[in-house]
């Protein structure tokens, strides 16, 4: 019910997954007047590439004429932004040698000489260290697993256009060396070009589009601290446009991982954001219930999705067969990057009883 990461790039990706799931649900639920989504459709791609006796694939895909781009006013935190951070330190743009503390598994913004490494989310100096990976690292992972996060990845197939086509950044927030090292085909994941990734997954480096110098700056972008000192806020905003006829846009203000006005550790059913794991699973549960009545979807796919409903907790759900390829691909990527300690101990929370889902 609580978001562990409220950085803009991560919230945008979670919001996109929620949006795509809402489009799928609209297609399945509107039986009176059939809804044709401009973004998703029933899967018509052979993800098994003609091979037989392989596990069923997801019933939906993103339409082939859709491409996904991310616009950010800042370089993503982590390895891609290290040169920019160094350049802001009074003109000292060269990394310096300093060995990372071996007691710390992940570095934040320190140890500038350790380029190409997996880093944790930057935080205040007195904050407890976390295992939350930087936005650079999470976006790097998406170049193999696609923008589809779990559990949306159970429903929507990782076809070619489910991957980010590119990232758009202002020229002042772009370092060619940093971005190419973090995301380029010859960068940190260069070895994946010859690795045997699981079926239906590929290494798809995205493009970097740099805005011209005369592009009008975003009025609320982080100010030049030399001209106007600023203090970072701890509030995030999430907006999701509704395009399937409901006219119910989603506007949320997030504070402490929950909707503002609620406390993270209270048992309050109103506190969770629509992009948290619980709410995304509830939506997927509704979709699975509707799919059981959709006989145009192959029987083996419907059966495999029905089996996911037998999972009693989130960890069991992620271990289901439909998630096997994604899980294996993620393991290969994190091993290639090195130094990617896993978050453990937060997947044992119970799922709602099966009876709560009905189409």
The pLDDT score that the predictor gives to residue 347 is: 82
Q: Is 358 within a domain?
A: no
Q: Is 355 within a domain?
A: no
Tokens of 183: 């995301």
Q: How many CB atoms lie within 10 A of CB 255?
A: 16
Contact (CB, 8 A) for 111 and 98? yes
Q: Give residue 60's domain range.
A: 8-223+231-348
The pLDDT score that the predictor gives to residue 355 is: 44
* Cα distance between residue 359 and residue 353, in whole Å: 15
Secondary structure in 3-state letters for the chain: CCCCCCCHHHHHHHHHHHHHHHHHHHHHHCCCCCCCCCCEEECCCCCCCCCCCCCCCCCEEECCCCCEEEECCCCCCCHHHHHHHHHCCCCCCCCCCCCCCCCCCCECCCCCCCCCCCEECCCCCCCCCCCCECHHHHHHHHHHHCCCCCCHHHCECCCHHHCEEEEEECHHHCCHHHHHHHHCCCCCCHHHHCCCCCCCCCCCCCEEEECCCCCCCCCCCCCCCCCCCCCCCCEEEEEECCCCCCCCCEEEEEECCEECCCCCCCCCCCCCCCCCHHHHHHHHHHHHHHHCCCCCCCHHHHHHHHHHCCCCEHHHHHCCHHHHHHHHHHHHHHHHHCCCCCCCCCCCCECCCHHHCCC
Q: Is 54 within a domain?
A: yes
Helix crossing, 299-308 with 277-291: angle to 10°? 140
* pTM summary value: 0.91
Q: Which of 206, 158, 210, 146 is nearest to 182 (CA)?
A: 206
Torsion of CA 343, 344, 349, 350, to 10 degrees: 110
Tokens of 99: 């060995």
The pLDDT score that the predictor gives to residue 207 is: 96
**Residue 225, class by beta-carbon neighbours within 10 Å (0-12 exposed, 13-18 middle, 19+ buried)?**
exposed
Q: Is 173 within a domain?
A: yes
Q: Which of 41, 46, 11, 23 is nearest to 138 (CA)?
A: 11
The pLDDT score that the predictor gives to residue 225 is: 54
Q: Is 282 within a domain?
A: yes
Instruction: Tell me how many domains the chain contains.
Output: 1
pLDDT tens track of the chain, all 359 residues? 999 899 999 999 999 999 999 999 999 987 667 889 999 999 987 666 555 545 668 999 999 999 999 999 899 999 999 888 888 776 555 666 666 665 566 777 667 778 888 998 876 666 677 788 999 999 999 999 999 999 999 999 999 999 999 999 999 899 999 999 999 999 999 888 777 888 778 899 999 999 998 888 777 776 665 555 667 678 999 999 987 756 789 999 999 999 999 988 888 889 999 999 999 999 999 999 999 988 888 888 899 899 888 888 888 898 888 888 899 999 999 999 988 888 877 788 887 655 456 66
């Amino acid at each position: 019910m609580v978001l562990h990461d409220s950085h803009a790039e991560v919230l945008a990706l979670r919001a996109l997954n929620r949006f795509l799931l809402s489009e799928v649900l609209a297609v399945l639920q509107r039986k009176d007047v059939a809804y044709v989504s401009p973004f998703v459709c029933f899967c018509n791609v052979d993800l098994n590439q003609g091979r037989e006796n392989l596990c069923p694939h997801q019933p939906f895909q993103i339409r082939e004429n859709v491409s996904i781009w991310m616009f950010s006013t800042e370089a993503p935190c982590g390895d891609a932004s290290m040169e920019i951070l160094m350049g802001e330190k009074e003109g000292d743009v060269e990394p310096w040698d300093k060995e990372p503390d071996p007691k710390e598994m992940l570095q934040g913004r320190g140890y500038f000489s350790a380029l190409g490494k997996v880093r944790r989310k930057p935080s205040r100096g007195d904050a407890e260290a976390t295992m939350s990976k930087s936005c650079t690292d999470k976006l790097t992972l998406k170049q193999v697993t696609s923008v589809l996060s779990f559990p949306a990845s159970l429903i929507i197939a990782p076809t070619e256009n489910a991957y980010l086509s590119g990232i758009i950044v202002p020229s002042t927030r772009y370092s060619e060396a940093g971005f190419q090292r973090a995301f380029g085909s010859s960068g940190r994941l260069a070895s994946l070009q010859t690795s045997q990734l699981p079926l239906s997954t590929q290494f798809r480096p995205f493009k970097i589009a740099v805005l011209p110098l005369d592009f009008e700056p975003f009025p609320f972008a982080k100010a030049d601290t030399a001209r106007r000192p600023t203090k970072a806020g701890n509030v995030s905003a999430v907006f999701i446009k509704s395009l399937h006829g409901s006219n119910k846009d989603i506007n949320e203000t997030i504070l402490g991982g929950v909707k503002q006005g609620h406390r993270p550790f209270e048992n309050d059913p109103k506190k969770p954001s629509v992009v948290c794991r619980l709410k995304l699973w509830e939506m997927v549960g509704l979709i699975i219930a509707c799919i059981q009545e959709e006989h145009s979807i192959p029987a083996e796919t419907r059966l495999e999705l029905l089996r996911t409903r037998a999972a009693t907790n989130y960890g069991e759900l992620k271990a289901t067969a439909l998630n096997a390829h994604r899980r294996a691909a993620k393991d290969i990527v994190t091993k290639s990057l090195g130094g990617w300690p896993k978050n453990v101990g937060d997947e044992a929370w119970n799922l709602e009883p099966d009876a709560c889902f009905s189409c």
